[in-house]
Chains A and B, each alone.
Chain A
């Protein structure tokens, strides 16, 4: 990782008694979890389990009803916004891109936390934009208009923007959405590379096999609670999958990678 030196020291992210309600509706309650540094953590759970909500709480764009999130022991909400944005980048689940921005300009937004409000971007900012685009395999796309890109290309632009933020923590909500098989693998390889460089990477995912193949840790949510967390190999079991998704599963070994892979049966008839 070329910019490893400038990346803020990543550390363990920890949620303490985190709860969140929208109006009367309790969406998350009593979340306790640890998201270790230098690792990719997969956030799993059925639709509506609260994955996006949890990521937003961690990114501090939502305010918890109670509890807190700390990064290497420091409460994230006690940090200045800009400082926080230098430590933690977030790629949201669905992003409407009906804006006539160029790809380079979209990625340049990642440099916002490093500038005084009224200052123009620097040559260094421009270089970081190019490096980030190269990291996601989009060099040469800088002048293209965002709304002329395919869904997968856009997703990579958003990841590049997060990379341009040069943070130690990277939060991604379903980063493999819209991506074809090899692009999915490409993004997850990239995330692994970042984790190897010391970053704390957290990604909400729906694909259990991708999770099994790429994540060091998993946190499984259901109904707004953590139902399991820990090392992927020991946590992600057919029993857990069946109890969370109601789908029977068996674990096999992938002869190509040597990593575990799951095969699923039909949905439980209950």
Chain B
């Protein structure tokens, strides 16, 4: 007998518009437009957020000042719209580097989360799950409080990488590396790293020096400089872009390591390279912003609702959405209680926890 007559499209429901071959040309899918749209949203967000803050600076003034900078002219003194030198500093030395750092950190964390969810085939995976963030925090806090003679980003990366190696070796020691073992090992490593971090803080803090560390542990973009932009942008270019482009390979992991291997992928090498890439990303981002939670966890889920699970489209969309999300979360963090500000990690957790609950609920409702 033939299988043909057994087709039951949609089990009684009409087929949900499977596009014809002509329409289904590569790149012509509606999902592929999501990254383009998000790119536009990001550009508008950065410009808008640039005009929001405790100091009153209008869009017009921003435009003027930008034009002056580009033209290399100094602002005309008599012009009412011209900015004072302190206002210019606010715009170009405080707000812009902070916004750009937020964008790169958001993109990096969201991307890391998406990649980890794919590699561990665990929807709860993110840089925290595998202990990377805790490791990076430990590295950074050691430098901050113990005064080790290493640069902060290097220490954070070393911490993230050490945590990753430890997590994967621990998972391997318990048998072959499978998703649930990896997650349990990650939990053990992150608990240990967090305990060590707390110990260092508890043991060496003096007077009010714990404040800076606390701010930093909760994740904050305050104090971002052009150096922060350089570090986060460099990490994104070196590790993020190659990861972005490897979406097709990541798709091959959808049905497990054996299926991936049978599709011609070098499973162990790819997994290590991609995880090391996320360690570079996470380490660099944690070193400029502290450990900001929930970005890596919820954004991949939220974006998947728009794009589906194909990483070729998902990864660029997730990176852009992460950037947009953190730009606005940080704008809230620095303006809602102005002139005070709160660590952006509190904002992402306040938004992230309920969103995550909704996503869980939706998943349950679907299955």
Q: Would you call B245 an interface residue if the criterion is a C-beta within 8 Å of the partner chain's C-beta atoms?
A: yes
Could you say which of B5, B11, B18, B254 contacts A99, with CB atoms under 8 Å apart?
B254
Residues of B245-299 contacting chain A, CB below 8 A: 245-246, 248-249, 251-252, 254-259, 261-267
Of chain A, the residue at the smallest CB distance from B24 is: A126
Q: A100-B309, A143-B16, A143-B19 are in contact. Are A112 and B265 (CB under 8 A)?
A: yes
CB B147 to nearest CB in A, in angstroms, measures 44
Within 8 Å CB of A140, what residues of B? 7, 9-10, 15, 18
The bracket for how many chain A residues form the interface is 35 or more
A50 to B259 CA separation, bound complex (whole angstroms): 18
Within 8 Å CB of B252, what residues of A? 109, 112
Q: Are A117 and B249 in contact (CB under 8 A)?
A: yes
A75 to B312 CA separation, bound complex (whole angstroms): 33
Could you say which of B3, B9, B246, B258 contacts A141, with CB atoms under 8 Å apart?
B9
Could you say which of B4, B15, B256, B264 contacts A85, with CB atoms under 8 Å apart?
B264
Q: A112-B251, A185-B1 are in contact. Are A59 and B262 (CB under 8 A)?
A: yes
Q: Are A106 and B256 in contact (CB under 8 A)?
A: no
CB A65 to nearest CB in B, in angstroms, measures 15
Q: A110-B263, A113-B263, A136-B3 are in contact. Are A59 and B26 (CB under 8 A)?
A: no
Within 8 Å CB of B245, what residues of A? 117-118
Stretch from A86-94, A210-218, A221-229 forming part of the interface with B? A86-94
Q: A60-B261, A85-B263 are in contact. Are A138 and B21 (CB under 8 A)?
A: no
Within 8 Å CB of B255, what residues of A? 92, 95-97, 99, 106, 109, 158
Q: Are B18 and A143 in contact (CB under 8 A)?
A: yes
Q: A100-B308, A137-B3, A147-B367 are in contact. Are A117 and B246 (CB under 8 A)?
A: yes
Q: Would you call B25 an interface residue if the criterion is a C-beta within 8 Å of the partner chain's C-beta atoms?
A: yes
Q: Would you call A209 an interface residue if the criterion is a C-beta within 8 Å of the partner chain's C-beta atoms?
A: no
Further 19 A-B residue pairs, CB within 8 A, beyond A99-B309, A120-B27: A89-B262, A95-B256, A97-B255, A98-B123, A99-B255, A105-B310, A112-B252, A112-B265, A117-B245, A123-B25, A137-B2, A137-B4, A140-B15, A142-B18, A143-B19, A147-B366, A186-B3, A189-B2, A190-B3
Residues of A within 8 A of B (CB): 56, 59-61, 81-86, 88-90, 92, 95-102, 104-106, 109-110, 112-113, 115, 117-123, 125-127, 130, 134-144, 147-148, 150, 156, 158, 165, 182-183, 185-187, 189-190
